Structure 1
Amino acid sequence: MNRFSLRYLQTAALITTCVLAATLSAQPAAAYPADTTRAAMAAYLHEHPGGTPISDRDIAYGGGTFIVTVTRAQAGHALAAADCPSGWFCFYDGVNYTYPRGRLSSCGWQDLGTWGWRNRTESVHYNMSSGTVGFLNEAGSVDTVLFTAGTTRRTIADVNPYRNQADYVSRTNC
């Protein structure tokens, strides 16, 4: 290779590097996951006041009786999985365990409206060692059990045809 060819290749490489650097610096900076999570937490608390942040993704209501997890720990995964912590039953605001996620552990009957979660359940995960939980719809003076989850059926990725109809939960055999 002669000196002219080598000089030409060096100049071309330098120009390519400069163009690439200029292009990359002109791109808007991507939001960091922490910034996205903070924004999601703030938005959720604004829409559902009365909660207390207890972690970077969790908000407690009723002194910890009900906990909302606003974003998944590892955002960006195409396939979501049921991920309810042990000792809780969880309900998700989207099919296939899409967040936000609400969770309870108490026995007995509870009005999901207390927690701003009426008509929001689209998938569920029961991660407790005993019992079952029924998800009920209020229809006038009669409550109808829409579906149940428990130790024999722990996950329901899509509660269709009962999406966004549960008003109450009732956990039994605790």
Structure 2
Amino acid sequence: MVLSRFLRTVLAALCGAVLLVPAVPGPALAASAERVAARRQVAAYLAAHPGGVAINDNEISYGGGALVITLRAPERNYAVADCPWGWYCFYDRTDFGYPRGKLSSCGRQNLATWQWQFRVESAHYNMSSGSVTFSYYDTPLFSVGAGNRIRADASPYRNWANYVNRWC
């Protein structure tokens, strides 16, 4: 009888603990699931666009930091040109839709180096001087610069650019 009462008490305590465990870490589990999903997105991007190094759960560096890809926009970023100061950025979608690539170096660069050729749909220039021209091989398509910082839609040249040339 004593053993049976003891077993019932232990079983009741265990059942109560089992019922409480899922309720306690709910937010932690959600954050963990988001982190796992973000890491999978980075891995999938790198598999499709090899040669980069993951900086964190949202950014990938190519060419030792020459190009930085940001996969997801910050929360509450709705069609906003958000290129950080000192960079020029190009976006995979119109109205500054992510993923976003950012460069800062001068001169002509082949976007194929980073598997970004034929993907530019919008651009933002966030430097105090100079400009960058997006080209199809040697044919200039459009430019952004200190005097005209944003291009929300690269139309009619969406997904045509395979080179950039920045004049410093």
1:168 aligned partner: 163
DSSP-derived class of the 1:35 partner: helix
Say if 1:78 and 1:71 are closer, same or farther in 2 by CA, change over 3 A: closer
**1:115 and 2:117 equivalent?**
no
- 1:57-72 equivalent positions in 2, closer than 5 A: 57-72=58-73
DSSP-derived class of the 1:40 partner: helix
For 1:134 and 1:78, the matched residues in 2 are separated by 26
- Is contact 2:51-2:114 (8 Å) kept? no
1:81 aligned partner: 80
Give the drift of 1:30.
Answer: 10
TM-score normalised by L of structure 1: 0.75
Aligned CA-pair RMSD = 1.8
- Is contact 2:52-2:60 (8 Å) kept? yes
In proportion to residue count, which structure has more helix? Answer: 2
Give the drift of 1:39.
Answer: 2.1
Say if 1:78 and 1:133 are closer, same or farther in 2 by CA, change over 3 A: closer
- Is contact 2:59-2:69 (8 Å) kept? yes
2:139 aligned partner: 144
Aligned residue-pair number: 139
For 2:94 and 2:83, the matched residues in 1 are separated by 14
**1:159 and 2:154 equivalent?**
yes
Gapped regions of structure 1 (runs ≥ 5):
1-28
Gapped regions of structure 2 (runs ≥ 5):
1-29
Give the drift of 1:162.
Answer: 0.4
For 2:77 and 2:105, the matched residues in 1 are separated by 32
DSSP-derived class of the 2:95 partner: coil
Alpha-carbon displacement from aligned partner over 1:28-62 (angstroms, at most 9, x marks no partner): x8995433322221110111112111122111011
Identity, % of aligned pairs? 53
TM-score normalised by L of structure 2: 0.77
